[in-house]
Structure 1
Amino acid sequence: MFAHAGLLLAGLTLTSARPPQQALTNNDNLHHNNHHNHQPPSIPGFVALGDSYSAGIGTPIPGPKENNCRQGTGAYPFLLAADLNLLPNPNSTSPTTNTTTPFQWLSCTGSLTTDLLSTSNPNSPSQIDTIALSPVPPAFATLSIGGNDLGFFDVLNACIFRFYSFYSGTCASALAASEAALLAPDFDLRLLLVLRETLDKVQWEKHPRFTITVTGYAKFFNAETEECDGVSLGVWWGGAGVVRGPKLTKEVRGRMNGLVERVNAKIRRTVEGVNGGFAGMERVVFVDYDKEFEGHRFCEEGVKEPDYGREETWFFLPGGGDSGEGGRPPDGNGTEVALGERDGWLEEGSELVDVEKCLERAERGGDWGERALCYMAVVKSRWPNERLVGEDLTQRLPWEEVGTTSWRAPTYYGKTFHPRSKGHEAIRDNVYEVWRQHGIKLGPRQ
């Protein structure tokens, strides 16, 4: 084993999926998002809960450095807060915290339902524990949760990327495990507890208009086209310039889409069950925005994947840019890197992934980027001749010693298959439409 085998963390802090400790202190990226001219209603504030889909991983970061929850200002909760004029003043001389700002952005990449549920440990509060009750409770909450509980990453690893190479298992076994988790009652119970604990935290009986808006997930693929049947998005070279990895066949795409559909159906049923306990009052609404992604998935008709320049794809590709940024695929010689890959390298002294210790932590949490980095580091430590697509073996940081085997891998795999900014805008718009349908008087479009 190499003496210094590991991955240098590029913009990724290995922390548990807890709310970020720093407040959002600038809104430089707002002006193109808050495009409504009429005055929004007066809303005291709201809280955003959930996972990476609510954190907006991959979209522009809300400051000079990515925070520990990998939040991005393209996230649909951030867009809602911008529309409602709930963002903190970037020119304020007094710092704010997540527990005092009108917009409590507690969504955190890697979160499981257990990261939201209340805990008895005051030194490690959950997202629900962090909800502020003073001075005014939030008017509503948004929530995205479930993908990490039900094994989305395991399916993407085994069926698409193979980060863990030979150890990744089979696509069939990963899909079977996720489907079994969907059939088990555990997730339903935890989601039910999350919704009820959130309502209790804001003292719902005193605030009859408080609602929770739960968002689902979107299917990743057009499963009917033939263009992707021979395409692989695997991360390792197989020799002779061929990417080693599973093919995106119709069968694989169809089963992965079916998994998303069943997740959404399960979330919908849980939401309906909670509302059933409130004698006809809708305390929770479900936003199934999947239909908005029609025509914007991977493997659409006439698209040759991976198409890094296609603006109408609303999910991130490995190394691809955000909406409006474009992007280039990295090549096998390292002569080209994906747009933004060198942005955000950590400073001298940044830690490397410890291949002896990272597995337990990574597999216990739900952060896709952390797991991908750990898996790739372990593979490199055991098989040093293995080579990542786009890896530049000659590139070295100034403080790295000649002869060491520490190396860097991009953290952009953590954002892969998450919505780009255009996708989040579509989710926001669908939230407004569902509010209108349910008579919820929130947002400037009411």
Structure 2
Amino acid sequence: MSASLRSLRAAVLALTMGAAAVLGLAQPAAAAGEHYVALGDSYSSGVGAGSYTSESGDCKRSTKAYPQLWKNANAPASFKFVACSGATTTGVAGGQLGALTSSTTLVSVTAGGNDVGFADVMQTCVLQSEANCVNRVNTAVSQMQTSLPGKLDSLYGTIRARSPQAHVVVLGYPRFYKLSGTCIAGLTETERGAINNASDVLNGVMAKRAANAGFTFSGVADEFTGHELCSGDAWLHSVSVPITNSYHPKAAGQSGGYLPAFRSVA
């Protein structure tokens, strides 16, 4: 091979590798060394997305949940998916952190909604009066501002102690309703607005505690904009059968909402 041809091939290779890095095509190779643990509640386990693994039982871990989708695309060195439906911050701390080690390099977690009674809030709003709904939402908001920060600090501190070198990503919750949207029945606009506000408050509390712990917070409200309930193209279940799917992301919400939010910072 002539020197000029070798030089040309080297230049082409350098340009190709540079373009791949710019376009993010080199990410799977970079992720090959990751030891990833997925913690959290139903929004991480994938309730509502279907295709639950038999081993996960009532935890309902879905093959369509964002942790599994990220793993499939990036082939990390190891992957432990232990998120579980219904988990509170205490539940995550007591039942999931055994998956963490000093070798863990990447962690994702959603937790906090169950601590403030998310399921009870939505049940109250669906079944009771507007006044009762707003009062229940306000009670949850009060818990977010008083008792939840300490619970998050405790959980985040334990995660850091178990995996001191890990990049920890805390993911938020979607804003549930498009106001003045397509819905002609169901909750009132006042109820929908109160629920959206509660979601914003919860995400704000989580973001602050995550920052204080040195973790990365990634919200999903932007990804779900245009795909809320009453948008005409919802990535969230409304009141559904089975009832456990209600107000959880569909498979499209995991792949189009949570996965991009995680991938952008992971």
Q: TM-score, normalised by structure 2?
A: 0.82
1:61 is aligned to 2:51: yes
SS in 2 for 1:67: helix
Residue 63 of structure 1: how far off its partner (Å): 3.8
Alignment of 1:247-326 (within 5 A): 248-275=187-214, 284-300=215-231, 303=232, 312-319=233-240
1:218-273 Cα shifts (integer Å, max 9, x gaps): 11101133x43x512xxxxxxxxxxxxxxx21111111000000000000111122
Which 4+ runs in 1 deviate beyond 4 A? 36-39
Q: Which amino acid aligns with 1:181?
A: Q
**Does the CA contact (< 8 Å) of 2:29 and 2:74 recur in 1?**
yes
| 2:72 is equivalent to residue 106 of structure 1 | no
Matched residue SS, 2:39:
strand
Displacement of 1:316 in angstroms is 1.6
| Structure 1 match to 2:117 | 151
Taking structure 1 as reference, are residues 180 and 199 closer, same or farther at Cα in structure 2, changes over 3 Å only?
A: same
State the identity %. Answer: 23
TM-score by length of 1: 0.50
Give 1:116 deviation, angstroms: 2.1
Do the aligned partners of 1:51 and 1:112 also contact (CA within 8 Å) in 2? yes
In structure 2, how many angstroms separate the alpha carbons of the residues matched to 1:154 and 1:112? Answer: 14
Q: Is the 8 A contact 1:80 1:428 kept in 2?
A: yes
Write the distance in 2 (CA, Å) between the matches of 1:419 and 1:295: 14
- State how far apart, in whole Å, the 2-side matches of 1:421 and 1:292 are: 14
| Counterpart Cα distance in 1 of 2:47 and 2:262 | 19
**CA shift in 2, pair 1:140/1:257, >3 Å:** same
**1:11-50 correspondence to structure 2 within 5 Å:** 39-41=28-30, 42-50=32-40
> Unpaired segments of 5 or more residues in structure 2?
1-24
Letter in 2 for 1:146: G
5+ residue gaps, structure 1, are 1-35, 88-101, 119-125, 233-247, 276-283, 304-311, 320-409, 436-441
Any conservation in 1 of the 2:141–2:202 contact (CA below 8 Å)? no
RMSD, matched Cα: 2.4
CA drift at 1:61 = 2.5
- The answer as to 2:33 corresponding to 1:77 is no
The AA in structure 2 aligned to 1:106 is V
| 1:131 is aligned to 2:102 | no
Alignment equivalent of 2:145, drawn from 183, 195, 220: 183
Q: What letter matches 1:110 in structure 2?
A: G
Secondary structure in 2 matching 1:117: helix
Taking the aligned partners of 2:174 and 2:211, their CA distance within structure 1 comes to 20
Q: Which structure has greater helix proportion?
A: 2
1:354 match = none
- Inter-partner Cα distance in structure 1 for 2:228 and 2:100: 37
Letter of the 1:299 counterpart: C
**1:303-353 C-alpha deviation (Å, 9 max, x unpaired):** 4xxxxxxxx31002344xxxxxxxxxxxxxxxxxxxxxxxxxxxxxxxxxx
Q: In 2, are the aligned partners of 1:51 and 1:109 still within 8 Å (CA)?
A: yes
Higher relative contact order (CA 8 A, sep 6+): 1
Aligned mates of 1:39, 1:150 — CA distance in 2: 37
Letter in 1 for 2:113: G
Q: Is the 8 A contact 2:52 2:60 kept in 1?
A: no
Distance change in 2, residues 1:38/1:49 (3 Å):
closer
